[in-house]
Amino acid sequence: SNSPLPPGPRNLSLIGNTLHMPIGREWITFAQWAKKYGDIMHLSVLGRSIIVLSSPKTISDLLDKRSTIYSDRPVLTMAGTLVGYDRVIPLEPYTPRHRQGRKLMQSAISPRTQPVLQASISSQMIHFLPRLVDSPAHFRQHTRWLVDSIVFQITYAYNISGHDDPLVQLADRVNRDFGRPIAPAAFLVDIFPSLRHIPDWFPGAGFKAIARDMRRTYLDMRDRQYDRIRAEVAHGTAKPSLVTTLIEGNPNPTPEEDDLYRNVVASVYGAGSDTSVSALESFFLIMSRFPHVQKAAQAEIDAVVGRGRLPTFGDRERLPYVDALIKEIYRWNPVVPMSLPHRLMQDDVYEGYHIPAGATVIGNSWAILHDPDLYPDPFDVVPERYLMKQDGERNPDPRAFAFGYGRRVCPGQIIADDTLFLFVASILATFDVGPPLGANGRPHAQEDVAYTAELISHPGPFDCTITPRSADVEKLLATLSVVADAA
C-alpha cells in the first residue's frame, strides 16, 4: 500500500516501539498517547503492528462495520497452540467452528432462555445473602462462590458446596493458570514461536512441561462434569443444564462436534466467571466510597420494593437509579479495559491510513469510558448522568464498550447484566456497605484502590463493612435460606 501507517510514538527501526511499551495498565498510557497521536494509532512491537482505537467512531467503523475482516484473534503460541485454550470461544480464531460455537452459546443465552437463567441466578442469590451476614469480611470469597454457583448451575446443573468444593478448586486453578500465558511476553515462545519445536530435554524447554500440566488441568475441568452428565442423559436421570441440552439435541455427535460442545460449555466458565466477579467487586468498592450514591439507590428500592421482600427481576424497570448505578459500575473501572484484542485478516485502508493484514487491533474501552467529553468527571461515580435529558452524544450506555465489539461481542451479556442487577438490588435492599472502621470505631481514611493490570482487571485489596439494614432483614434472610435449603 502507498498509504502511510497511522501515526504513533517514534519508531526505533528494528525493535519498533518495544522499548516504549508501557508495562502494566497500558490502557492509561495508550489513552494519553491517543491525545497526541489521535484515535487511531500505530505501534510496532518486535516487528508486529498494533493498532489502538480510542473513539466510538473508529471502533464502530472498523470492529463493527468491517467485522468480516476484523474478527480474528492474535495467535498465542503458549496459551493457544501449546495449552489448547484456542479451542475455547474467546481465544479461538475466526473460523466456521468459532461461529458454530457462538451460535450454540447464543441459543442457550438469549431473551428466550432468559427466564430460566434468571431463576438460577435468583436461587443462588438466596444462598449467598446469608453468607454475607455470617462472615461479611469474606465478601470477596462469597462473591466468587456466588458467581461460580450460578455458572456451574447453568452449565452442569451442579450445586457447589463450600469454597473447598473440588470443582471450584479445579476451576480456580484453571483461572490462575489462564492468567500466566496470556500475560504479555510471559513466555519466550510467544515472541519466537518456532521455539515450540525444540525437544523437551533441551535447556529452556521447561515451558513445554508447564503447558502440558496446564492442558491436563483444563481438560480435567472441561470433561469431568460433561462426562457425568453424558452418562446421566443415557440413564434418563440428567437435570436440565446447558450440557443436557447439547447432548439431547445431538445424541450421537461426531468427535469434532463432541469437542466443540465441551469447549463451548467450558467457555461459559472461562469467559463468564472472573469477569462477573470483577464487576461485583467494584460494586462493593463503589458503595464504600460513594455513600450518597448508596443512599439514593436504597431510597429508590425502599420506595418501589418496600422492606418486606427481596427485589426481583420484575422490579428492574421501576428502578432507573439502580439501573444507572449499574452502568457506572461497568464504566468506572471497566472489567476488560482494552477489550480482547482482534486481529485483522487482510490489508485495509481507513481514512487514508494503511492497516496491515495480521495487525493486532485493540479497542481501548477504558479511554472511551474516561473521555471527559463523553462522560464529564469520568473518575467520579455519577449515576445521575444517565438520567439527565441527553444532549446528543453525551453519556452513551457504557455497555456498548464494556462488552466488546463486532462479531466478537460478549455473548454472555444477558447473564452478566442480570447477575449484576440482582446482586446490586438485593444487597442494597438488605445491607449497608460502608468504609472500614478503625479501632476507635470511626471510618478509616480511604486510600485509592489500584485496579490490577491484568486482561481482566480487579480492584486491588480493600476492606469494607457490610451490615444488615435491620434485625427484620436478618430474620428475612435466615427464613429464605431455610426455605431454599428445604426446596
Among 121, 182, 166, 90, smallest CA distance to 418 is for 121
CB atoms under 10 Å from CB of 278, counted, come to 23
Judged by beta carbon, residue 77 or residue 275, the one nearer ligand HEM is 275
Among residues 286 and 305, whose Cβ is nearest to ligand HEM?
Answer: 286
Nearest distance from C-beta of residue 414 to ligand HEM, angstroms: 8
33 vs 94 by CB, closer to ligand HEM: 94
Element counts in the chain: helices (H) and strands (E): 16, 8
Q: Are strands 348-350 and 342-343 parallel, antiparallel or unpaired?
A: unpaired
Closer Cβ to ligand HEM, 402 or 428, answer by number: 402
CA 160, chain centre distance (Å): 21
464 a known binding residue?
Answer: no
- CA atoms lying within 13 Å on the CB side of residue 327: 21
Fill in the DSSP letter of residue 197. G
End-to-end distance of the chain based on CA atoms, in angstroms? 66
Measured over the CA atoms of residue 405, residue 333, residue 218 and residue 141, the dihedral's sign is negative
Which stretch of DSSP H or E encloses residue 361?
Answer: strand 360-363
Q: Is-contact 265 241, C-beta < 8 A?
A: no
- H or E element in which residue 269 lies: helix 255-289
User: How far, in whole angstroms, is CA 366 from its chain's centroid?
Assistant: 14
Compute the distance between CA of residue 412 and CA of residue 241 in angstroms, rounded to an integer: 16
Q: How far is the CB of 72 from ligand HEM (least distance, A)?
A: 10
User: At closest approach, how far in Å is the CB of 117 from ligand HEM?
Assistant: 9
Cell numbers at 485, concatenated: 435449603
Q: Closer CB to ligand HEM, residue 95 or residue 446?
A: 95
Distance in angstroms (rounded) separating the CA atoms of residues 465 and 137: 7
Residue number with CB closer to ligand HEM (374 or 416): 416
Nearer to ligand HEM, 268 or 359 (CB): 268
Nearer to ligand HEM, 55 or 207 (CB): 55
| Least distance in angstroms from the C-beta of 405 to ligand HEM | 4
Return the amino acid letter for 445: A
The answer to whether residues 159 and 153 touch, using CB atoms and an 8 Å cutoff, is yes
Q: Which residue's CB is nearer to ligand HEM, number 333 or number 395?
A: 333
Cβ proximity to ligand HEM, 279 vs 285, nearer residue: 279
CA-based nearest residue to 302, from 290, 315, 314, 289: 315
Beta carbon of residue 95, minimum distance to ligand HEM (angstroms, whole number): 11
Long-range own/partner contacts, residues 263-267 (CB < 8 A, 24 or more apart):
263/87, 263/88, 263/89, 263/101, 263/222, 264/89, 264/101, 264/104, 264/105, 265/155, 265/156, 265/222, 265/226, 266/88, 266/218, 266/221, 266/222, 267/88, 267/89, 267/90, 267/101, 267/105
CB of 109 to ligand HEM, least distance (A): 6
| Binding positions for ligand HEM, rule: CB under 6 A | 89-90, 102, 105, 109, 267-268, 271-272, 275-276, 279, 335-336, 339-340, 402-405, 408-412, 415-416
CA dist., res. 366 & res. 359, Å (int): 21
**Nearby residues of 447 by Cβ (< 8 Å), 6 or more positions away:** none
Which residue numbers belong to the known binding site for heme?
A: 410
